[in-house]
Structure 1
Amino acid sequence: MRARHDSQKAQLISLLETRSMMRAQDLREAGISAQTIARAVEAGEIDRISRGVYQKRGVEVEENQILAEALMRASKGVIAMVSALAFHGLTDQMPRRVWMAIGTSDWAPVQSYPPLRIVRFTQPYLRQGIEHHVISGLDVPIYSIPKTLADLFRNPKLVDRSVAVEGLRAALQQRKATPSAIAHAAKAGGAWKVMQPYLEALTSNG
C-alpha cells in the first residue's frame, strides 16, 4: 500500500511539473487518489490554489495566472470584457473579478476563488474573435482586441462607456489593432452604430 502511495505521489509531482496546474478531477482520471492529493497538500509538496485546483509548491506565479485558474473553473468559458482588455494592456483597471463569457445555457460555476464575473453571450457572439494564449502551461481562450472592443461598446449596462472609449483609444495609439479590423469586428458584433462616431473621431487626424 505504501509503495502504491509513493508511486502515485511521484506521478502527481511529475504531472504538476509538466502542466503547472491541474484540477482534482483530471488528477483522479490520471490515477491519483484523493488521499494521495490530500497527503501531498498536508506535507507541503503541493498547494491547493483554489477549489479543486492544485499546483506544485514553490512554482513561480506567472503574470495573468489568475486567468488560467479561472478557466479551470469554467472550461467552456472565454476571458472577456475588462479582463481581456487588461490582458491586452489596454486599460489601467485591475478588475476585481475575472470576466468570463459563457453560452446562454452553459453551467455557471459556484463562486469561490478566483471570483468570476460571468456574462452570457448568444451564438455567434460567443465564438467570434477567440485567440489562444498559453498561461501557466494551459491553453487559455481570450477574446481578441477588436472583439473585446465590440463587446464593451455593445454592453454599456455591464461596463461604463468610458472604459470602452479608453480601450479603443489605447488600441489605436499603441497600434495593437487597425481601424479596419476594429470596424469589422464591431459590425460583426452588433456594435458598429454605437462605436462608429468614436472610431471616426479618434482617427480623423490620421
Structure 2
Amino acid sequence: MIDPKHSVSARRLDRLGPTFTAAQARERGIGSNALARLREAELIWELSRGVYRKSNSPLTMHIDLLAACIRVPHGVICLETALAVHDLTDEIPGEVNLAVPRGGPLPRITYPLVRIHRFAGATFEKGIEHWEAAAGEPVRIYSASRTVVDCMRLRHIVGDQVALRALRSYLRRRGTSPSDLLQYAELLGGAGPLRNAIQVVLD
C-alpha cells in the first residue's frame, strides 16, 4: 500500500523542475522528512548538499556542472571546465571551475569537487553565455573567446600547454578572429602577451 504522505509528496514533486533545491521543495510543501522519504523511494537523487534531481529526468553527462551552478547561482563556469564545454581541450577536468565576483563570500562545496576563482567585479559579467547542462536547464558559462583569454592570462593556474592548445584550437575554427580575443584581452589585461602568442600560433 502506498503511504498517503508519500503520495502527496510525489504529487507535489511534479510541480518542481528536474533539478531543484531543498528551499524550492519547501515552497511546494515538501519538507526535509518528505525529501528523505522520496530519496528512500528512489524518486529523487541528492546531487549535492540541498540539491536534488528527479530520478526520471533526462540523463546528462554534465550533472556535476549542473549541481555546482545550482549551489552557486551567481557563479560562472570558467577556465578548464569552460574549455571542455567549448571543445577547446582534450583534458577532462577533475573539478568544476567556477568564477565568482571578487570581494563576495567564498562558497564552500564538498561535493561535487569545485574550484572557485575570484574574478574582478568590474568585468565579471562580460562574455557570459547560457548553455544547457541538461535539456531545458541552462547554466552560466563564459564564451569561448573570453575563456581562451582567461586561460592565457591565468596560465599559472591552467598551465602553459593547456592555454596554448586552447588558443590554437580556437584560431583554427571557422569564423573566429584574433580580434575577438584581443578585445577581451584589452578589457581584462594581457593584450601584449596574447598578441605575441597569436603571432607564434599563426606563423
Give TM-score scaled by structure 2 length: 0.90
Deviations 1:157-193 (A, max 9, x none): 2121211110010011133632221121121121211
Q: Quick check: 1:56 aligned with 2:57?
A: no
Specify every segment of 5 or more residues in structure 1 that has no aligned partner in the other structure, as ranges: none
| Whole-angstrom distance in 2 between the partners of 1:15 and 1:179 | 47
Task: Call closer, same or farther: CA 1:44–1:4 in 2, change over 3 Å.
Answer: closer
Q: Secondary structure at the match of 1:99?
A: strand
Does residue 23 in structure 1 map to residue 24 in structure 2? no
Q: Provide the residue aligned with 2:92 in structure 1.
A: 94
> 2:153 corresponds to which residue?
154
RMSD: 1.8
The CA deviation string for residues 13-39 of structure 1, in whole angstroms up to 9 with x for no partner, is x135xx221111111123221111111
Letter in 1 for 2:93: P
> Which one-letter code corresponds to 1:6 in the other structure?
S
My pick for the range that moved more, 125-134 or 80-89, is 125-134
Query: 2:10 corresponds to which residue?
Result: 9
Q: What does residue range 1-206 of structure 1 map to in structure 2 within 5 Å?
A: 3=4, 6-12=7-13, 14-16=14-16, 19-136=17-134, 137-175=136-174, 177-204=176-203
Query: Conserved in 1, the CA contact under 8 Å of 2:6 and 2:37?
Result: no
Q: Which amino acid aligns with 2:156?
A: K
Structure 1 pair 96–194 and aligned structure 2 pair: CA distance change class (3 A): same
1:133·1:141 contact (CA, 8 Å) conserved in 2? yes
Q: Match for 2:145: what amino acid?
A: P
Aligned partners of 1:147 and 1:189 also within 8 Å: no
Aligned length: 200
User: Percent identity between the aligned chains?
Assistant: 32
Shift of residue 67, structure 1, vs aligned partner: 1.4
Segments of 4+ in structure 1 off by > 4 A? 2-5
Q: Which amino acid aligns with 2:159?
A: D
CA distance in 2 between partners of 1:185 and 1:120 (Å): 17
Distance apart, 1:135 and its partner CA: 2.2
CA contact (8 A) 1:81 1:152 kept: yes
1:5: Cα distance to partner?
Answer: 5.1
Per-residue Cα deviation, 1:27-71 (whole angstroms, up to 9, x for no partner): 112322111111110112111122111111243421323211110
Q: 1:176 to 1:64 in 2, by over 3 A?
A: farther
CA distance in 1, matches of 2:146, 2:98: 14
- Partner Cα distance (1:89, 1:117) in 2: 20
Contact kept in structure 2, 1:150 and 1:190, CA below 8 Å: no
For the 8 Å contact 2:15–2:28, the answer to whether it is kept is: no
Report the 3-state secondary structure (helix = DSSP H, G, I; strand = E; otherwise coil) of the residue aligned with 2:88: coil
Q: 1:127 aligns to what SS in structure 2?
A: coil
Q: Quick check: 2:101–2:120 contact (8 Å CA) kept in 1? A: yes
SS in 1 for 2:110: coil
